[in-house]
Each structure stands twice: as C-alpha cells, then as structure tokens.
Amino acid sequence: MTSHTASPEQDGDNRFYGLDASIYIFRAYFARPITFISPEGYPLNAVEGFAQTLLSLLAEVQPRYLVVAFDESLGQGFREQLYPHYKSRRALPDEALAFQLLACRRMAEVLGLSCLSDSHYEADDLLATAARAAREAKRAVTIITRDKDLAQILEADTDQLWDIGTRGQAPQSRRQWESHYGVCCGRLADYLAVCGDSVDDIPGIPGVGEKTSRQIFKKYRSLEDIYNNLDDVSSLPVRGAASLAAKFAAHREEVFLYRQLTRLRDTVAVPAECAVGAYTGSDALGFSDLARELGFSRRWIDGLLTRYSGVFR
C-alpha cells in the first residue's frame, strides 16, 4: 500500500474514510490464487485479500472514523427499477462468491468497523450519505475506491479519492482529480449521463463521447444549463458541433433519466452511529475465532496478528 499524503496527525485525527468494499473484494476474487478452502468447500481468496486490505489500511492511516459500504442491492435497486437495462450485463454472484461476500462483511464487522448496506441503494449512495454526515461534522473526507463515479462526493479542497490497491497511487485531492479527468466533480453525474457509462450499461446520448462531453461541461454547469442555452451549443469548438443541439433535443427525456442513474443519493436512511463510523481498534480474539471458523490456518492467523499487532487490542 502506498504512503498516505495526509497523515492522521496532519488531519488532526479527524478525517473520515469511506471504503467501497466491492471493488477490493472482487479484485482479490479475480486476482488472488486459492490458498484456503472453507469447511463448506468454498474458496477463501477474496476473504483473504480483503482481510489483508483492511488490516493494511487500519495500520497505515490509524483512522478514528471509517465506514465500509457493501452492495446488497444487486439487480433489485431503485436504479434497476428506473431503467431495467442498468448493469444488465453483470451476472449475479454464484453460491461460492455469495459465501465470500458475506464472509468479507463478517470480517469487517469483527475488526470493529461500521458496515453499511441497503437493498434499495448501492454502496456508492451509502458512502455519499456517510460523507455528508462527516462533512456536517467538519471532517475532511477520503473515499477509498477505484470507481470514478465516487468523485461526485468530493466537495472541499481537502477531500480525496484514493485507490489503495494500485501500487504507487497516492490519494487525489478534488483539484487533482478534476485536473486529471478534465471534469468538475460537481458536474460528473451530468457528464456521465451525456457521454454514457459502459461499465453500468448507461448509453448516454448517441454520438456524444467523452471528449465532446468534457468540452460541453467546461462551459455548462448542468443539463438544465445546456437545455436553457440549446441554441448556443452548436457553437462549441468541438467536432460535430453543428449537430449537437439536435442530438440533445432528440434525447432530452433519456438523458435526464440517465442522470437519475449516475447521480449519487446522499440522504439514505442509515443509523447515525453507523454513518459516523467511529473506530476504536480491532479485537484479536474475535478476528482469530472468525478466521478459524472460515477455514484459515493458524499460521496465517498468527502471521497477521504479528504483522498488524498495532491494530489489535
């Protein structure tokens, strides 16, 4: 894991961290070899990798506030209800993966971390909600993910997006992220609605790609701003500008629907104490007991207890 550019001391021990669990669970599931098998016969590679990710994070940043958000709404959330094609190419977890997803949540909980999930909203929405609560408490926000959609959460100059699984990747501030991607975080939902997001099966406006969309949102603040100035859109200095107004006019209803899919919800009803994510340390005995129950070896368990001794109490 990379060195964090703003240490807990620099943040006055007040920074809030929100972890997008699915990203790191699936990364371990597809990348790690299978070393351990549960008593039920399921592989444990995702659990192994996720546990090490959590412990490494806890050791490095020593957080006082950390929330871990899980996706429970796969295939049945409000976005699928609005647009049935949303994420339609993604297969639902099979029995073996479902076992590991649940085990990963149990691992986070036994380490003393606040965990959020919802059958209607995605982990992204839960992180946005927790980040809003943190901001109201005057805390800087770091969102741990590799998903660019979550850059919507970044508001203050001290807010960060951080992919802890990429070697050499330091946290990006809001300004750094915007400079790298060429899009304002506050306009990201509108931008994605226009150019589409193939990962989530959101088509966007046909014929308007990322490059054109970036140019559009350098001038216009939102979809409403575009449609209020539709006659001027065709004068933008981009290829195919002459046909832009017609494309927007023809797909007005769809693009506003797409923004409902791309925009994060930050008012999900979650228990206040869970959204705060107060963390006071991890219990070594609880971790050992769960790891043994799942099927990890004594050597593996003792190795982590020794390596991350500063995390456990």
Nearest Cα neighbor of 18 from 120, 108, 119 is 108
Three-point CA angle 214, 124, 221, nearest 5°:
30
What is the 8-class DSSP label of residue 197?
B
Instruction: Report which of residues 38 and 12 the model is more confident about.
Output: 38
- How high is the pLDDT of residue 105? 98
Residue 167 has pLDDT above 90, yes or no: no
Is residue 65 within 8 Å of residue 272, measured between CB atoms?
A: no
Question: 306 — phi, psi (to 5°)?
Answer: -75, -50
Is residue 222 within 8 Å of residue 187, measured between CB atoms?
A: yes
Give the C-alpha distances (Å, rounded to integers) separating 306 from 160, 244, 294, 299: 30, 60, 20, 10
Mean per-residue pLDDT for 5-17?
62
- Start-end of CATH 1.10.150.20 domains in the chain: 185-262
- How high is the pLDDT of residue 299? 98
Mean per-residue pLDDT for 163-184?
92
- What are 306's two structure tokens? 């020794």
Mean per-residue pLDDT for 145-171?
93
- Start-end of CATH 3.40.50.1010 domains in the chain: 16-182+265-307
Superfamily classification of domain 185-262: 5' to 3' exonuclease, C-terminal subdomain (1.10.150.20)
- How high is the pLDDT of residue 163? 96
Continuous H helices in the chain:
21-31, 45-61, 78-82, 95-110, 123-136, 174-181, 188-195, 210-219, 223-228, 230-233, 244-250, 252-262, 272-276, 284-294, 298-307
- How high is the pLDDT of residue 249? 97
- How high is the pLDDT of residue 10? 43
C-beta atoms surrounding 221 within 10 Å = 12
CA dist., res. 256 & res. 160, Å (int): 28
What is the 8-class DSSP label of residue 56?
H
Nearest Cα neighbor of 170 from 181, 160, 180, 157 is 160
* DSSP string across 11-34: TTT--EEEEEHHHHHHHHHHHS--
- How high is the pLDDT of residue 77? 95
- How high is the pLDDT of residue 91? 86
Nearest Cα neighbor of 220 from 190, 193, 245, 254 is 190
CA dist., res. 61 & res. 57, Å (int): 6
pLDDT tens-place string over residues 261-299: 999 999 999 999 999 999 999 999 999 999 999 999 999
pLDDT tens-place string over residues 101-125: 999 999 999 999 999 999 999 999 9
- How high is the pLDDT of residue 264? 99
Give the C-alpha distances (Å, rounded to integers) separating 167 from 2, 19, 25, 148, 308: 6, 17, 17, 17, 20
Mean per-residue pLDDT for 187-211?
98
CA dist., res. 88 & res. 201, Å (int): 7
Residue 200 has pLDDT above 80, yes or no: yes
Residue 31 has pLDDT above 70, yes or no: yes
CA dist., res. 53 & res. 67, Å (int): 14
Give the C-alpha distances (Å, rounded to integers) separating 289 from 96, 285, 292: 21, 6, 5
Superfamily classification of domain 16-182+265-307: 5'-nuclease (3.40.50.1010)
Q: What integer best gives the mean pLDDT of the chain?
A: 94
- What are 68's two structure tokens? 């871990």
3-state class (DSSP) for residue 37: strand
- How high is the pLDDT of residue 261? 99
The model's pTM: 0.94
- How high is the pLDDT of residue 3? 42
Residue 1 has pLDDT above 90, yes or no: no
CA dist., res. 306 & res. 106, Å (int): 21
pLDDT tens-place string over residues 204-241: 999 999 999 999 999 999 999 999 999 999 899 998 89
Mean per-residue pLDDT for 16-21?
98
